[in-house]
């Protein structure tokens, strides 16, 4: 099977360079996907079908296999530039709802760009994953052991009811000053 492999923004792009993707290419395609996902640790694949004009059932099962292998490695298999005949065939089998299908590589890149910017901090340094930040925070906190909490301390009243005077004062709304100056920001909810 004729193909080319390139990388772009941490994604591996596999371009199939055949007019017909059929039973003759199934085993070679499986070997290529295996080597990319398992041996080269390329979790996210873009499989470019821009040169493919026809496909058979073996080609469809190869697409499903690529999807499953990428999912097992916690990645994605994204199929781009499918011709109308292949799109219609996938709709007929309801696989268009299972597979990740996009019109072009550029469309995928524009969707991934914001996610990649959020993933990296300033100067290209990787941001600390959330679970590491939580672990560091927990190490700094002094946690109270459950056996240190006593039921008698929890029952203590924080405010003595005799200290509360003038219930009418608490229920009156506060006076609003009208100084003619508009305040900035969102109004407070009341």
Mean pLDDT rounded to a whole number for the chain? 76
Least confident of 30-34, 36-40, 70-74, 186-190: 186-190
Residue 85 has pLDDT above 90, yes or no: yes
pLDDT of residue 66: 93
Pair type for strands 11-16 and 45-48: parallel
pLDDT of residue 53: 95
Q: Which residue is it, tokens 């927990």?
A: 138
Cβ atoms of residues 86 and 95 within 8 Å: no
pLDDT of residue 130: 42
pLDDT of residue 47: 95
What value does the mean pLDDT take over residues 54-66?
93
Residue 9 has pLDDT above 90, yes or no: no
* Residues 103-161: tens digit of each pLDDT: 999 999 888 877 666 655 455 444 444 444 444 434 444 444 445 445 555 555 555 55
Q: Which residues of 101-130 are buried (b: 16+ CB within 10 A; e: fewer)?
A: bbeebeebeeebeeeeeeeeeeeeeeeeee
């Amino acid at each position: 099977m004729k193909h080319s492999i390139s990388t772009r923004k941490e994604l591996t792009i596999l371009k199939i360079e055949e007019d017909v993707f059929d039973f003759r290419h199934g085993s070679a395609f499986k070997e290529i996907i295996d080597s990319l996902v398992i041996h080269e640790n390329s979790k996210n694949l873009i499989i470019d079908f821009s040169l493919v004009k026809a496909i058979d059932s073996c080609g469809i099962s190869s697409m499903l296999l690529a999807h499953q292998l990428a999912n097992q490695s916690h990645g994605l298999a994204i199929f781009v530039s499918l011709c109308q005949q292949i799109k219609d065939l996938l709709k007929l089998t309801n696989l268009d709802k299972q597979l990740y299908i996009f019109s072009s590589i550029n469309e995928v890149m524009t969707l991934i760009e914001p996610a990649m910017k959020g993933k990296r901090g300033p100067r290209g340094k990787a941001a600390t994953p959330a679970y590491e930040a939580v672990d560091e925070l927990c190490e700094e906190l002094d946690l109270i052991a459950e056996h240190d909490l006593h039921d008698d301390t929890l029952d203590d009243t924080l405010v003595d009811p005799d200290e509360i005077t003038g219930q009418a004062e608490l229920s009156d709304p506060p006076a609003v000053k009208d100084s003619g100056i508009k305040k900035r920001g969102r109004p407070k909810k009341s």
